[in-house]
Amino acid sequence: MFKEFDMYPYVRRNLRKRYPASKGWVIKERERRGSYEPDFIVERRTKSVIERIVVEVKATPKITENHIKQINRYAKCLAGANVKIKEKILVVPSGAKVSKIPPDIKIHYSKKFSHKKKKSWKKRKRKYRKKK
């Protein structure tokens, strides 16, 4: 089994590819803001506005209503007069059940981590063995 912290280096790398520093994006990991601590905040400051992207990483096989409430609460707390929440991203392992996610939350699947059960080599070998 794996934990959310195991996914962080891969998430950070993928965020950096998508939001390059050359375009002004800064990635902040687990920055405590009052009583809440989102996994990642990606932000860019322009002349009059701060654009933020809230990223939450979950290592669970199923996304629940509480996970959705959590990312929405983070987005609400991080928004302000000159602060625009550009995106809300939920990073989950491949194979996670995400059927009840609202359209304003984007799902990113981590291919490196999976909740799918893999067949053992013996089972796969037996499946393709020729019958005599």
DSSP the chain: ---HHHHHHHHHHHHHHHS-GGGT-EEEES--BTTB--SEEEEEE-SS-EEEEEEEE--SSB--HHHHHHHHHHHHHH--SSEEEEEEEEEEEET-B-TT--TTEEEEEEEEEE-SPPPPHHHHHHHTPPP-
pLDDT, position 47: 86
pLDDT, position 29: 85
pTM, two decimals, is 0.77
| pLDDT by 10-residue block (mean), the chain, 132 residues | 73 92 91 73 92 90 88 90 93 82 88 57 53 54
pLDDT, position 132: 53
pLDDT, position 60: 81
What are the structure tokens assigned to 26, written together? 């800064």
Cα 75 to Cα 18: distance, rounded to the nearest angstrom: 20
Cα 69 to Cα 102: distance, rounded to the nearest angstrom: 11
pLDDT, position 59: 82
Cα 36 to Cα 21: distance, rounded to the nearest angstrom: 25
Cα 30 to Cα 66: distance, rounded to the nearest angstrom: 19
